[in-house]
Structure 1
C-alpha cells in the first residue's frame, strides 16, 4: 500500500520537525504526510504574499479556503486563521491580509510560515477520522460523523491500529448514525469503502511512526465518489516508547512454575496467630498442597512442624515461588536473595508501594526482579489460589471447590466477594488471583496461562485499568477464540478527556475506548460485579448454540413480555415461528393460549403441557435456544416443573441434542429450590427475575459469535 518512497518522505518531514524542536506539523507538512500514505486531500498551495495567494487561487479555481500556516498556532479557527468561501481575487487578497492580522493579534510572537490556499470542496458528508495514543492501548484509530453528532452525541467508534480494511469498515458501519452514510431523504450514499480505506491507511501511518501522538483528519468529506481529508492536524511525541513485553514462551515458563510450584517459601512466616505470615502458612499446610513448604524467619527454628530458615538462601533445595509477608521496606533486600535463589515468582502481599504514592520503592523492587528474571505478582494483594494443586497462597480464607472457572481481581475486596459468591453458589474454580498494583504480572500474563490450562474453561476478570491494553487485547482475542473471557471494567468515566488537545483525543473517553476494543477482542463485558460472577457460573453450563433462533415458552403472558424485552436488550433473535411449527405448538396449548413467539401456554396448564411444548422446542432443528418462563401454580408446583424440565432436557441430551435452556421462575419461595435444582442440572435458572437468565444466555451468544461458532 505505502511505497518505500512514501515512508522516506514522512521520515524526512519528521526529522525536520524534530530538528526544529516542534511538537506539531504545519498544515502543508500534514498534507504531505497524508499524500505519502495515499490519503486524499484537496489541492493546495502555500502563499507568502497576497499577490501569490491570488495567483494560486486562480490556478486552483475559485472559491478557495485560506488557512494560517504557523508552527505556533495549532488551533487555527480559534486564532481567526481560517476563511472559507472566498470567491473573488479581491476577497482572496483581503483575506490574506486579514488572516495575518488575526494571527498576530492572537499570538504576536508566533512564527508565520505563510497562508495555505486550498481548493474548496462544497459537497459531501462530514466525518472525523483520527488516531491517538491511548495510555492503555497505544495507537488507536477513531471514526465518527462530523458536526454536532460527534461533538455532542460522541457517536464514534475505536479500534486498535493497525486495522484491516474489514475492521475499518466495521467502524464505519458501527456508529449509531451509520444510516446517514447510506443516504437519507434523497441524499447520495457515500463511498463507505473509501472511508474505510482512509481509516486503514491512517492506522498504518501511526503504526509505522509511533512518534505521531495524535492525528486529526477533521473534517473528511465523503461523497459517492470518494473521501477527502479537508483539514489535517498532526502532533508528535519524540519520546514515544513501547512497553516491555515478554514472549508467550517466557510468560508460560514463569507462570507454570508460579501456578504449579514444586516448592514454596514464605518470607515472613510466623507461628503467631493473627499474623499474615501465619495465615499463609496455615493455608498452604492445611489446604493440602503437596509440594515443599519452607518457612523463612530468622528468629524461629520451626513453624507449623516445618523447619524454618533464616534466609531463602539457606533453603537446601530449589524454590519456585516466594510469598512475601513482610513490611514493604524489607522487600528489596529479601527479593535480592530470592532472585539469587532462582525463584520464578515473587508474591508480594504487603502494601505500601505505588498505591500509597511510593512509586520509587515499587520501581526499585521491579528493577531487582528484572535483574534476576523474577516475575512479580502484586504488590498489595491477597495472594492467589490454584485448586488443581490444592494451592492457597493467601492470608484470606481457603477455598477448595474445584472447577473450570478462573477469576482475577485488581481489588482485594472484590477478590473476597468473588470468593464468597463462589462458596455460596458452589461454583467450582480453577484459580482466584489478586493482581493488585500490577507492577509486573497483569491480566495478559494470566490469560496466557489460562489459555493453555486444561483445568480452566472460562476466565472472568475484574480490572480497574490495563497496564498494557494492547497486549491484553491481542491475548484476549486469541484466548476468546477457544474459551470465554468475561471482564468487569471498573471506572466508566474519564476526566482525562477534558485535557485532550484534539477532537479525536477529546472523544477518546477511557470507557468508550475500552468498550470498543474489548468487543473487538471477543471479550464478554459484564456491566456489574454480580453479572461478572453470574456469567462466570452460567456460561460454561450452557451448550454452545448452533444458530440464532431463540424461542420463549411461558406460562404467564406478563413474563413473556419481559422475557422478550430482555432478549432484545441482550442482542438475541426471537425466532419468527413458521406456520407448521405454529400449528405444532397449538396442538399442545389451550385455545385461549397463544402460539407465535413467545409461546404462551397460560398459567393453569398441567405438567404435560410444559413437557410437550419444551420437547417440541428441543426436537425442532430450526429452534436453537429455549427461554422458559414459569408461573407458580398448584396445578404445576415449582419442583414438579423443575423435575420435568430436567427430565426432558436430559432425555434429549441422551439423543445428542444439546441446546441452551434458561428459565425464569415467578412464584412463592418454593421457586428458589426449584431454580437451584434446574441450575444443578445444566439449566440456568433464577427466581424472581426475567433479566438474569436471558443475560447469561446473551453472554453465551456474544462469545459464540466472536469465536466464529455461529453460522
Structure 2
C-alpha cells in the first residue's frame, strides 16, 4: 500500500521546528489520512458560529474537543463534550470548552475547537504505538474507551507488522470472542481492523520521531474501523540507533570465540585459589587441544607451560584472551590484546558497571571497539564449549556432551545451571556466562547457535535485553529450526512507566516482553527449574505432527490432574473416534474408562500398558502420548519403564516417532524408572503430573510458532 510520506514529514517538521512534543488532533488526523487510517469526519472552528455551521454540515450529534498542543488529556481537563445537538447546545458547548481549557491551563495555546462526527455502534478498541526502551517501536491492540487502563485487555507486537501478525493480535486479547460476535454482539470487520493496525505499525516505523501514538477509541464494526480520537507525541531524539555488528561479522567473531585455536590467560597463576590458576587447570584438565598460553610478567612458566610477560610476546595468533586480573588492570592489557590482533576477550573480573564503576566499563568497551575485539562479560564465570573440549572458566570442567546450549546473565544462576546439568547428566554443547553484557549478548550467541550443528536447543536466563530488536531478529531465524527457551527475570515489575498516552501507560515491561518473546518464536519459561527441564526435555522429544494428545493412565486421579495440566499448557485432548475407542476397550478391564484420559486402572499387568501404548503410537490420528504410571506390585516401576522404552523404540524403528512423556507416582523406585525413560527418549518425571505436560506443552508452543504442525 502506498503512503503519503511527504505529508507526514511536513507535519512533523513543522511541529518539531516549533519545539513541540505533541501534535494537535487535526495534525494527527492528517498523519492518519496519509497512511490510510480512517478517522471520523471533523473540522476546527475558530468561533461559536463557525462551530454551529460545521455541526449542521456534519449532521446529527457531534463531539466538541479542544485543539491545543498544551492540553493532551482533553477529557481530564473537561475539554470534551459528546452528543451535542442543535445550534444552542453547540454555542454553549463551545464556550464551556474554552472556559475549561483556560481554567486548566491559563497559558495554553488554543487553536480552536474540533467539531467531530459522533461515531456510534460497534466495539470500542484501542490501537496504539509506543517506543519501548528495549524493543523500539511497539504496537498495541486491545479494548478501548475510557476504561482502557482499568481493564488492561491489550496485547503488543514489535513494529512493523505483517498482515497475519496484525490479525493474530485480534485473537490475542481476552475479549476476542466479543469481536467475533459472541452472545449476539456485532461482528467486527477483522480485515479492516488488522489493516488499521498494520498501517499504524508502518507509520511509526517510517517516522521514529513519533514516540507514542493513540487511536482511542477506534469504533470497530461490521462496516469497518474508524478512529474517533488521535493523540501523537514526539521525540526529536527518537531516531538514535544502537551500535550493531553485521551477521557476517558476528559469525566470524563468535566462531573464533567458541572454536579458538589458541587461548591466552591474562593473569595466569601457579598459586592455588587464584582465578588465573583455576582457569589454567580447567583448560588443561578439560582436554582443550589448542594452544594454552599463560601471560604473567612475574613468572617464567605456569603449570609447566612457558609464560609470557605480555600477550604481545606470544608467537603466532591469539584467538581468545581470558582475563583473570583485577578490573583496574584490564584497560592496559586490553590495549595490548588490540595490538596483538586478539579476536575476543573474556572478562571474568568484577568491579565494573555492576558495582557502579560504569566509567571503567565504558573505557574498556571503547578500547575493544577501537581494535575490533569482541568482549564477553565482564563479571562472569567464563564459558564452556564441549565439542571443542573448551573449559575457559574458574568452575570445574563439564564433560557430558549433548545438544543443549545454556546461557545466563547471572553468575549465581550459572552455578545453578551447572549443578542441574551435572545432577541430571544433561548433554550440553555450551554453557556461557554473559554478566554485564558490555558487548556480546544473547543475539550474538543465537546467531552462532543457529548455525552450530552441535546445538539442538538453546535455553537462556536473562534479566534484560540490550537490543531487543536484534534479539528478535536472531530469535526468529533460529526458532524456525531449533527451540529457544527464555527465562526472563523481572516478571513482577511494579507497573508501567509514566507516559503521556494510554498506550505508553499500558506498556508495562513484562507484558511487552511476554508478547514480543512469543512473537519472536521463543518459549518463555515461568521459572528456573522449568527452563532447565524444558532444555533437557525438548531435544529428547520429536516434533509432533498434529494437535491430538491422548492420556493413558493407571490411576483415575492422575488422569484428572494430567487433563488439568493439558488445559493449562494449551494442549488439546483428542476426541477419541468410536473405532479407536473400541480398540482401547479391547485391552482395558470393563471397570476401566475409555475416552480421554484412558484409565486402564492400577491392577493391570504390564501387557495392558504395552498394548495400549502400542495402539496409541500406531494410530496416525494420535499425535502425542502422556502416560500416567501408578506404582503397583503387578507392574513395578522398572518393568513399566523398560516395556515403555521398548515399545517406543520398536515404533521408531518402524518410522513412527511421536512425543511421549510420562508421570510416575510411587515410592522412590520411580526415580530410577524415570531416569531410564529419559535415557530412552521419553521425558519422564517422578512425583509430578504438571512437569511432563509442561515440557510437552513447551514443545508444542515451539512447533506451532515454527509452523511445523501443518
Same fold (TM over 0.5): yes
Q: Secondary structure at the match of 2:649?
A: helix
Matched, 1:231 2:220: no
**525-534 or 284-293: which moved more?**
284-293
2:70 aligned partner: 72
Q: CA deviation at 1:493?
A: 2.7
**201-210 or 592-601: which moved more?**
592-601
Distance (whole Å) between structure 1 residues aligned to residue 584 and residue 121 of structure 2: 56
Q: CA deviation at 1:62?
A: 3.6
User: Which of 120, 123, 142 lines up with 2:121 in the alignment?
Assistant: 123
Q: CA deviation at 1:149?
A: 6.2
Aligned positions of 1:551-570 closer than 5 A? 551-570=550-569
Q: CA deviation at 1:2?
A: 2.9
Q: Secondary structure at the match of 2:587?
A: coil
2:528 aligned partner: 529
1:252 aligned partner: 251
Q: Indicate conservation of the 8 Å contact 1:130/1:216, yes or no.
A: yes
Aligned positions of 1:38-57 closer than 5 A? 38-57=36-55
1:98 aligned partner: 96
1:33 aligned partner: 31
Q: Indicate conservation of the 8 Å contact 1:261/1:320, yes or no.
A: yes
Q: Deviations over 1:616-636 (max 9, x none)?
A: 111211111111111111111
Distance (whole Å) between structure 2 residues aligned to residue 482 and residue 171 of structure 1: 24
Distance (whole Å) between structure 1 residues aligned to residue 495 and residue 612 of structure 2: 54
Q: Indicate conservation of the 8 Å contact 2:143/2:152, yes or no.
A: no
Q: CA deviation at 1:353?
A: 1.4
Distance (whole Å) between structure 2 residues aligned to residue 618 and residue 197 of structure 1: 44
Distance 1:141 1:584, change over 3 A: same
Q: Deviations over 1:26-71 (max 9, x none)?
A: 1111011111111011111112222222222222224211111111
Q: Indicate conservation of the 8 Å contact 1:345/1:374, yes or no.
A: yes
Q: Secondary structure at the match of 2:423?
A: helix
Q: Indicate conservation of the 8 Å contact 1:46/1:117, yes or no.
A: yes
1:315 aligned partner: 314
Q: CA deviation at 1:151?
A: 2.2
Distance 1:519 1:295, change over 3 A: same
Q: Secondary structure at the match of 1:65?
A: strand
1:595 aligned partner: 594
Distance (whole Å) between structure 2 residues aligned to residue 354 and residue 399 of structure 1: 29
1:548 aligned partner: 547
Aligned positions of 1:252-331 closer than 5 A? 252-331=251-330
Distance (whole Å) between structure 2 residues aligned to residue 415 and residue 254 of structure 1: 23
Q: Secondary structure at the match of 2:657?
A: coil
Q: Indicate conservation of the 8 Å contact 1:550/1:627, yes or no.
A: yes
Distance (whole Å) between structure 2 residues aligned to residue 657 and residue 403 of structure 1: 23
Distance (whole Å) between structure 1 residues aligned to residue 137 and residue 491 of structure 2: 21
Distance (whole Å) between structure 1 residues aligned to residue 245 and residue 229 of structure 2: 40
Q: Indicate conservation of the 8 Å contact 1:212/1:237, yes or no.
A: yes
Q: Secondary structure at the match of 1:283?
A: helix
Q: Deviations over 1:153-182 (max 9, x none)?
A: 311111111101111011012111111112
Q: Indicate conservation of the 8 Å contact 1:493/1:509, yes or no.
A: no
1:112 aligned partner: 110
**110-119 or 197-206: which moved more?**
110-119
**444-453 or 264-273: which moved more?**
264-273
2:2 aligned partner: 2
Distance (whole Å) between structure 1 residues aligned to residue 41 and residue 615 of structure 2: 67
2:622 aligned partner: 623
Matched, 1:336 2:338: no
Distance 1:424 1:185, change over 3 A: closer
Q: CA deviation at 1:496?
A: 5.8
Distance 1:65 1:153, change over 3 A: closer
Distance (whole Å) between structure 2 residues aligned to residue 367 and residue 495 of structure 1: 34
Q: Secondary structure at the match of 1:174?
A: coil
Q: Indicate conservation of the 8 Å contact 1:276/1:325, yes or no.
A: yes
Q: Indicate conservation of the 8 Å contact 1:2/1:36, yes or no.
A: no
Aligned positions of 1:415-494 closer than 5 A? 415-494=414-493
Distance (whole Å) between structure 2 residues aligned to residue 296 and residue 558 of structure 1: 63
TM-score after normalising by structure 1? 0.98
Q: CA deviation at 1:17?
A: 1.0
Q: CA deviation at 1:637?
A: 1.0
Distance (whole Å) between structure 2 residues aligned to residue 178 and residue 406 of structure 1: 37
Distance (whole Å) between structure 2 residues aligned to residue 269 and residue 638 of structure 1: 51
Distance (whole Å) between structure 1 residues aligned to residue 47 and residue 86 of structure 2: 16
Q: Indicate conservation of the 8 Å contact 2:233/2:500, yes or no.
A: no
Could you tell me which runs of 5 or more consecutive residues in structure 2 were left unpaired when the two chains were aligned.
none
1:519 aligned partner: 518
Distance (whole Å) between structure 2 residues aligned to residue 420 and residue 626 of structure 1: 30
2:185 aligned partner: 187
Q: Indicate conservation of the 8 Å contact 2:179/2:185, yes or no.
A: no
Q: Deviations over 1:637-680 (max 9, x none)?
A: 11111111112111222222111111111111111111111111
- Equivalent pairs counted in the alignment come to 709
Distance (whole Å) between structure 2 residues aligned to residue 521 and residue 326 of structure 1: 38
Q: Deviations over 1:212-261 (max 9, x none)?
A: 10001111111111111111111111112121111111100000000001
Distance (whole Å) between structure 2 residues aligned to residue 673 and residue 201 of structure 1: 57
Q: Indicate conservation of the 8 Å contact 1:664/1:687, yes or no.
A: yes
Q: CA deviation at 1:117?
A: 1.4
Matched, 1:170 2:168: yes
Distance (whole Å) between structure 1 residues aligned to residue 114 and residue 145 of structure 2: 23
Q: CA deviation at 1:500?
A: 2.2
1:202 aligned partner: 200
Distance (whole Å) between structure 1 residues aligned to residue 526 and residue 391 of structure 2: 29
